[in-house]
Amino acid sequence: MIGLLGFAAIWGFGLWRGAGRGLLWTATAIWWGAILLAHAPGIGAEGLVGGDFRAWLVFGLLAALVWLYATVFRAVKARAAPPAVAAPAAGFSETELNRYARHIFLREIGGPGQARLKAAKVLVVGAGGLGSPALLYLAASGVGTIGVIDPDVVEASNLQRQVIHSDARIGMPKVFSAEAAMKALNPFVAVRPYHRRLEAGIAADLVAEYDLVLDGTDNFDTRDLVNLACVRAGKPLVAGAITQWEGQLSVWDPARGAPCSACVFPERPAPGLVPTCAEAGVASPLPGIIGAMMAAEAVKLITGAGEPLRGRLMIHDALYAETRVIGVKRRPDCPVCGAIPSP
């Protein structure tokens, strides 16, 4: 009987005095050891503490299992729990901290990564199928300055897949429609709309203003021009492409050892071999899948999280739900980036 009363006294008095659980479990283990010692041959004190040696042994082992489970559970819970958000960091208001909390909770991004997103400048070429989700997620992620260049206006046929636009904005230039949607989603980002075609005369100066570029265009002339401008400026290029049910994505970045698009696709396909979306059609969600991945690559590049698709080409087949990633390398004889020394 004294044995059980001893345990009750330890926990009752300990909790009343505010003792830590570690101290309580230590005292419990010591008392349990004393009980076992009282039952040892030659001691003769088993009548004082009561009970049977085997019963006390099993009781102690069960208590040890309970302690071990509680310790592991608390450790796992502490590891999984999001870190506490500190006082507002310089440059972030309370509203912004609340808005970006899910990013700040990610240990791969955190406060420093979110600050880099806010300071970043990203140019998106094309506000169509791929540009739509990419622009929305860049804005939602808190990229501080987002440029978007596109010469077209919103048409009814765009709305099947270009989710940044709306029926009410048919006839409006796509860059201004995209600006309205992004500002409605996140008023804390700055949007720079360029309602014009990207041409050789402006490409170099425009790309030089930004940290990285996303290419969501649907014609080879613009893709080649964007690739050339990014190579010369040493800027990473996140490039996506889609047709029918299939899309592809990579990060062209020869300044950091990855190939440029001309390394992997040195020649254009024959006319008619790769039809446009207008000619062959495209599944509505496909641009959303690839465009969102483009935004994810941009976030990784800005924050340093994870492993971007440098030196890798991802091919996604939405019709059969298959995704493949293949390695791609720079070509020393590439006419676009061959002269750039490897890092």
Q: What is the average pLDDT score of the chain? A: 85
Q: Which residue has the higher pLDDT, 6 or 113?
A: 113
What mean pLDDT is predicted for residues 85-93? Answer: 57
At 212, which CATH number?
A: 3.40.50.720
In which domain, by residue range, is 22 found? Answer: 2-80
Give the best-scoring range by mean pLDDT among 41-45, 54-58, 116-120: 116-120
User: Residue 192 in contact with residue 147, Cβ under 8 Å?
Assistant: yes
Q: Decide if 283 is inside a domain.
A: yes
Q: Each residue of 146-201: pLDDT tens digit? A: 999 999 999 999 999 999 999 999 999 999 999 999 999 999 999 999 999 999 99
Last-in-domain residue among 80, 104, 131: 80
Q: How confident is the model at residue 78 (pLDDT cuts 50, 70, 90)?
A: very low
pLDDT of residue 79: 45
Q: Domain check: are 160 and 252 in the same one? A: yes
Q: Would you state the pLDDT for residue 199?
A: 95
What pLDDT does residue 340 have? 78
**Residue 341 domain flag:** no
Please give the Cα distance from 288 to 176 (Å, whole number).
20
Of 35, 54, 80, which closes a domain? 80
Give me the pLDDT at residue 91, please. 76
* Same domain (yes/no): 136, 46: no
Residue 89 lies in a domain: no
Q: Answer yes or no: is pLDDT of 276 > 70.
A: no
Q: Are residues 136 and 175 in the same domain?
A: yes
- Is the domain of 35 the same as that of 107? no
